[in-house]
């Protein structure tokens, strides 16, 4: 009943490549679905919820995957370092920040600048529910939007219902293939009451696994012809899974790409392990042909059964395939929302929040657990927004105190328990001002965590 579907995977170029425009063509500041603005070194994109067809949650679970145009390599999450200005004694603060490539707002009031300014005129005020992607120059972004909530909203139609005599459960026509969840009639079911249908496929994962990752390039055989536009979800870790980044110390950094039937991962730091999911997406639209809904064949190693979109070509493309007997099925082992209690503003180095935690236990049923979670934040101007998990660490200006910033979080995952850590109350930034000394900023407090523990069948 708590099914996993990928609503859509959107692809966005960096804003500076295409200049100012609205999409669809002919729309305006009040009617666009996607807009960009470019001026000197300022490149801004806004993607309204209406851009994503069939989106049922105001703040969905989402991921942002970044790929370099030059070599087609995806850049996995990594932590970069920068530092503040020096004070009169030559002291400075250092910051380690996981890159965040997108924020999803519940009701974005203003993109920036004064009321009535050029940005207000271009994007409209208020903007409303929207994704604000941050796409680095020379790259493109893949926004993976899951049909699951990213905040405290409940999963729609997730409670079991008893079947009723006379209900029609399966519907196969020349234009659709649909199966209702138990207790619903396929003729009247809403999209969230369907187990699957040809227009809203389950989250199709062609391969998942957990492998050793030595330094350098590792090749992993997927068993399927793939293209450069596939996407992968991965967790890099040492002995214990700490997601999205290790608590302190070194960062694990990898790039990945696809070729032939293989996933290639370049580990640029030290030997570790990787747990991964490869999504059945290759940016090719559905095909057209005479294939029936049921397709049976031998792929050279095993017998295969597929459920296809009616009228697919032979052979079908990934967008045609509803179910494939070779593909692992994801399961939700545990999910929920946990509000994060308010904390007083801490003033380092003498006063630091060392962290609050909560744990979630689950039955892994012999599966590899995989964690996905969003942090929920409150902005003073633009209200609530969500973002994928990220870690942010400060080295205090005294050069001896390290702490997680107030918006930082991480999850320690083992076979049957996930423990989430947060650090509300710590500053996000330390900065020196000649008139007032060291100042501390506390924007956008982390107010909640929406988590999902997924199960991956072992290969």
Q: For the chain, what are the domain ranges?
A: 6-69+101-149, 331-456
pTM for the whole thing?
0.94
* Cis peptide bond prior to 93, omega within 30° of 0: no
* Cis peptide bond prior to 244, omega within 30° of 0: yes
Residue with tokens 């369907």: 194
| Three-state secondary-structure class, residue 339 | strand
pLDDT at res. 18: 65
Q: The tokens of 377 are what?
A: 């934040």
pLDDT at res. 227: 81
Q: Are 234 and 276 in contact (CB under 8 A)?
A: yes
User: For 141-197, how does the pLDDT look when each residue is reduced to its tens digit (9 = 90+)?
Assistant: 999 999 899 999 999 999 889 989 999 999 988 888 899 999 999 999 998 999 888
Residue with tokens 């109350």: 425
pLDDT at res. 185: 95
Q: Where are the beta strands (DSSP E) in 168-247?
A: 170-172, 177-180, 194-197, 205-213, 216-221, 231-237, 241-243
Question: Chain-wide mean pLDDT for the chain?
Answer: 91
pLDDT at res. 84: 94
DSSP 126-183: S-EEEEEE---TTEEEEEEEEEEESSSPPPTT-S-----TT---EEE-SS-EEEEPTT
pLDDT at res. 249: 61
pLDDT at res. 101: 94
Residue 137 and residue 74: Cα distance in Å, rounded?
A: 14
pLDDT at res. 175: 82
Q: The tokens of 411 are what?
A: 């999850």
Low-confidence ranges of the chain (pLDDT < 70): 16-18, 77, 200-203, 247-250, 282, 459
């Amino acid at each position: 009943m708590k099914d996993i579907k990928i609503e859509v995977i959107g692809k966005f170029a960096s804003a500076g490549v295409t200049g100012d425009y609205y999409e669809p063509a002919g729309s305006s500041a009040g009617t666009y679905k996607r807009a960009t603005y470019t001026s000197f070194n300022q490149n801004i994109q806004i993607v309204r919820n209406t851009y994503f067809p069939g989106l049922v949650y105001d703040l969905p679970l989402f991921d942002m995957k970044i790929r370099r145009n030059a070599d087609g390599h995806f850049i996995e999450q990594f932590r970069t370092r920068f530092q503040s200005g020096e004070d009169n004694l030559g002291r400075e603060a250092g910051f380690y920040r996981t890159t965040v490539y997108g924020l999803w707002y519940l009701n974005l009031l203003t993109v920036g600048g004064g009321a009535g300014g050029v940005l207000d005129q271009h994007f409209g005020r208020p903007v409303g529910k929207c994704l604000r992607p941050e796409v680095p120059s020379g790259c493109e972004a893949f926004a993976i939007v899951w049909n699951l909530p990213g905040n405290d909203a409940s999963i729609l139609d997730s409670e079991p219902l008893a079947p009723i005599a006379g209900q029609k459960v399966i519907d196969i026509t020349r234009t659709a293939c649909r199966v209702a969840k138990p207790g619903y009639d396929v003729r009247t079911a809403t999209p969230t009451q369907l187990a699957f249908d040809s227009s809203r496929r389950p989250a199709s994962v062609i391969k998942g696994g957990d492998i050793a990752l030595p330094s350098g390039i590792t090749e992993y055989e997927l068993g399927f012809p793939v293209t450069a536009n596939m996407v992968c979800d991965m967790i890099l870790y040492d002995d214990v899974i700490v997601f999205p980044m290790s608590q302190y110390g070194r960062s694990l950094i990898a790039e990945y790409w696809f070729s032939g039937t293989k996933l290639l991962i370049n580990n640029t730091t030290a030997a570790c392990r990787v747990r991964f999911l490869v999504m059945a997406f290759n940016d090719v639209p559905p095909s057209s042909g005479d294939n029936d809904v049921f397709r049976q064949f031998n792929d050279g190693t095993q017998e295969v059964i597929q459920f296809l979109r009616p009228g697919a070509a032979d052979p079908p493309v990934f967008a045609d395939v509803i179910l494939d007997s070779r593909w692992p099925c994801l399961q939700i082992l545990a999910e929920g929302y946990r509000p994060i209690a308010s904390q007083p503003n801490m003033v380092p180095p003498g006063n630091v929040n060392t962290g609050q935690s909560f744990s979630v236990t689950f039955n892994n049923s012999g599966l590899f657990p995989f964690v996905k979670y969003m942090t929920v934040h409150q902005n003073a101007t633009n209200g609530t927004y969500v973002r994928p998990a990220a870690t942010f660490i400060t080295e205090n200006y005294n050069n001896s105190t390290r702490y997680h910033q107030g918006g930082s979080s991480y999850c320690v995952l083992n076979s049957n328990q996930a423990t989430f850590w947060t650090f509300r109350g710590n500053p996000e930034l330390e900065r020196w001002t000649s008139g007032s000394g060291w100042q501390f900023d506390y924007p956008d407090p982390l107010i909640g965590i929406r988590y999902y523990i997924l199960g991956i069948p072992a290969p």
